[in-house]
Amino acid sequence: MNRNFSVFLTIIFALTIGLSAAFAQKPGSPFKGVINYKITYPDSKMEASQLAMMPQSMKVLMNGNKARIEMAMSGINQVIIMDADQQSTVILIDMMGQKVAMKPNKGADRPSGKEPVVTVTSETKEIAGFTCKKAEIHFGDEKSKESPMIVYYTEGIGNNKLFYDNEYRTLPGIPMEFYYKMQGMNMYMTAVSVEKGKVSGKDFEVPSDYKEMTPDQLRQMFGGN
C-alpha cells in the first residue's frame, strides 16, 4: 500500500501544478458545469494489475473562477480545489477513511523559468462535442522544438486565464486532450463529455472532517516516501 500511495502522491504533485493552471479560468467567465475525462497510459511499462489500480477517469467541476478536480485509484480518493481569486490550491486526500487537506508548497516541481512558446496549428479535432484546435508547445531549445507537447483545446468553454508557472500558461483555451509524462509514464487525458450546470458552491469548500497537513507531514505519515 505504501508503494501504491507513493506512486499516487507523485501523480498528485505533478497534476496539481499542471491542472491548477490548465483549469484556472478568468474571473467572471460564464461557464458553469462539469468536464469528464478518460485517462489512459500509452506505452506504460507497468503490469496490467498495476495499471488497473491507477486513476482511470477525472472529473473537473468549474464555476467561473473556481475549479474542483476529482480522481480516484484503488483505496484513495483525491480532490484538488482551486480558487483563481485567491490563487490558492488545496488537495484533499481520503485514504481508507484517513482524510487530509494539504496545500502544496508554492513553486514546488514547477518548470524552470523558460517561457513556453505556443504554436496554434490549422488542425482541429471534435472532442466531446467541441471543435478543438491543436497546439504545439516548446520552450525555445532544440530538444523541445523537435518533440513539442501536443494539446487540443477549446475556446468554447469559458476563457482560460493561466497564472501559475506551467507549460500551459499561455494556452488560449481549456485543454480537452493533453498529457503528462513522469517517471517514464505517459498519462493521457481526453474529455468524453461536458455537462452544463450541476455545480454548487459547496463543491469548492473544504469539509470540516479533513485534517490540515503539509506535504512533508503527509510523506512522514506514510513512511517518508
Q: pLDDT band at 165, cuts 50/70/90?
A: very low
The answer to the question of residue 12 being in a domain is no
What pLDDT, on the 0 to 100 scale, is given for residue 223?
Answer: 65
Cell 513556453 maps to which residue? 116
Length of the chain: 225
Domain that holds residue 179: 36-106+113-198
For residue 17, tell me if it sits in a domain: no
Q: Which residues contact 142 (CB under 8 A, 6 or more apart)?
A: none
Please check whether residue 34 is in contact with residue 129, taking contact to mean a CB–CB distance below 8 angstroms: no
Q: What integer pLDDT is reported at residue 132 of this predicted model? A: 96
Would residue 130 count as lying in a domain?
Answer: yes
Q: What angle do CA 8, 11, 17 make, to 5 degrees?
A: 145
Task: Give the pLDDT of residue 192.
Answer: 97
Place of cell 477517469: 57
Per-residue pLDDT tens over the stretch 166-179: 666 778 888 899 98
Choose between 65 and 190: higher pLDDT.
190
- Residue range 86-145, pLDDT digits in tens: 778 899 999 888 899 998 876 544 445 577 888 999 999 999 999 999 999 888 888 888
Q: How far is CA 22 from CA 38, 50, 162, in A?
A: 16, 27, 7
Instruction: For residue 218, tell me if it sits in a domain.
Output: no
What total number of domains does the chain contain? Answer: 1
Q: What's this model's pTM, rounded to 2 decimal places?
A: 0.80
Q: Is residue 9 part of a domain?
A: no
Share of the chain above pLDDT 70, in %: 74
Q: What value does the mean pLDDT take over residues 57-74?
A: 86
Q: pLDDT band for position 149 (50/70/90)?
A: confident
Q: Return the minimum-mean-pLDDT range out of 35-44, 112-121, 140-149, 185-194.
A: 112-121
In angstroms, the CA 106 to CA 109 distance is 9
Is residue 27 assigned to a domain?
no
pLDDT level of residue 162 (50, 70, 90 thresholds): very low
Is residue 161's pLDDT more than 60? Answer: no
Helices (H), the chain: 2-22, 48-51, 142-146, 215-221
Q: Is residue 156 part of a domain?
A: yes
147 found inside a domain? yes
Calpha distance 78→73 (Å, rounded)? 8
pLDDT for residue 5:
52
Most confident of 27-31, 73-77, 87-91: 87-91
Residue 60 to residue 181: CA distance in whole angstroms: 20
| CA quadruple 124, 139, 188, 46: dihedral, nearest 10 | 150
Residue 208 has pLDDT above 80, yes or no: yes
